[in-house]
Amino acid sequence: KQVLAISNFDLPADFFETGILMLGSSTDLVENDDHLEGEISGISASNIPSWFSGYYKPGKEIAQIDDWDERVAKIAE
Protein backbone atom coordinates (compact mmCIF):
# COMPACT_ATOMS: atom_id res chain seq x y z
CA LYS A 1 0.00 0.00 0.00
CA GLN A 2 2.81 2.41 0.83
CA VAL A 3 4.44 1.98 -2.57
CA LEU A 4 1.12 2.39 -4.38
CA ALA A 5 0.48 5.59 -2.38
CA ILE A 6 3.23 7.26 -4.43
CA SER A 7 0.62 7.73 -7.15
CA ASN A 8 -1.25 10.14 -4.83
CA PHE A 9 1.55 12.69 -5.15
CA ASP A 10 2.31 14.91 -8.13
CA LEU A 11 5.87 13.71 -8.58
CA PRO A 12 7.97 14.73 -11.58
CA ALA A 13 8.59 12.01 -14.18
CA ASP A 14 12.32 11.89 -13.41
CA PHE A 15 11.49 10.78 -9.85
CA PHE A 16 10.89 7.32 -11.32
CA GLU A 17 14.32 7.22 -12.96
CA THR A 18 16.18 6.79 -9.67
CA GLY A 19 16.33 4.25 -6.87
CA ILE A 20 14.44 4.62 -3.61
CA LEU A 21 16.46 3.92 -0.46
CA MET A 22 14.45 2.12 2.19
CA LEU A 23 16.17 1.73 5.56
CA GLY A 24 14.66 -0.52 8.16
CA SER A 25 14.96 -3.87 9.85
CA SER A 26 16.41 -6.93 8.19
CA THR A 27 14.22 -8.67 5.62
CA ASP A 28 15.69 -12.00 6.76
CA LEU A 29 12.54 -13.42 8.35
CA VAL A 30 12.62 -16.29 10.84
CA GLU A 31 10.45 -19.36 10.30
CA ASN A 32 8.43 -20.24 13.41
CA ASP A 33 6.17 -23.28 13.06
CA ASP A 34 3.81 -22.47 10.17
CA HIS A 35 4.62 -18.76 9.76
CA LEU A 36 7.44 -16.25 9.31
CA GLU A 37 8.37 -13.65 11.91
CA GLY A 38 10.30 -10.39 11.79
CA GLU A 39 10.14 -6.68 12.50
CA ILE A 40 7.44 -4.76 10.63
CA SER A 41 9.76 -2.67 8.44
CA GLY A 42 11.61 -5.82 7.38
CA ILE A 43 8.34 -7.62 6.63
CA SER A 44 7.13 -4.65 4.56
CA ALA A 45 10.39 -4.43 2.61
CA SER A 46 10.38 -8.17 1.93
CA ASN A 47 6.91 -7.91 0.38
CA ILE A 48 7.41 -5.11 -2.14
CA PRO A 49 5.74 -5.67 -5.53
CA SER A 50 7.97 -7.22 -8.19
CA TRP A 51 7.59 -4.18 -10.48
CA PHE A 52 9.11 -2.01 -7.72
CA SER A 53 12.22 -4.15 -7.17
CA GLY A 54 14.20 -2.22 -9.81
CA TYR A 55 13.77 0.97 -7.77
CA TYR A 56 14.32 -0.62 -4.35
CA LYS A 57 17.64 0.13 -2.69
CA PRO A 58 19.75 -1.22 -1.00
CA GLY A 59 18.62 -4.43 -2.74
CA LYS A 60 17.57 -7.81 -1.41
CA GLU A 61 21.04 -9.13 -0.55
CA ILE A 62 22.01 -6.16 1.64
CA ALA A 63 18.50 -5.87 3.13
CA GLN A 64 18.81 -9.42 4.50
CA ILE A 65 21.86 -8.60 6.64
CA ASP A 66 20.76 -8.87 10.28
CA ASP A 67 23.49 -6.70 11.83
CA TRP A 68 22.55 -3.00 11.45
CA ASP A 69 26.16 -1.68 11.42
CA GLU A 70 27.20 -4.25 8.80
CA ARG A 71 24.15 -3.40 6.67
CA VAL A 72 24.87 0.34 6.81
CA ALA A 73 28.54 -0.29 5.95
CA LYS A 74 27.50 -2.29 2.86
CA ILE A 75 25.13 0.49 1.80
CA ALA A 76 27.93 3.06 2.16
CA GLU A 77 30.37 1.06 -0.03
pLDDT in tens, 44-73: 888 888 887 888 889 889 988 989 999 999
Given a contact cutoff of 8 angstroms between Cβ atoms, the answer to whether 66 and 28 are in contact is: yes
| Number of domains within the chain | 1
Res. 4: pLDDT tops 80: no
Domain residue limits at 11 = 4-76
CA distances 8 to 4, 5, 18, 66, 69, Å, are: 8, 5, 18, 33, 34
DSSP 71: H
Report how far residue 13's alpha carbon sits from residue 50's, in angstroms, rounded to the nearest whole number. Answer: 20
Q: Which residues pair with 30 in a beta bridge?
A: 37
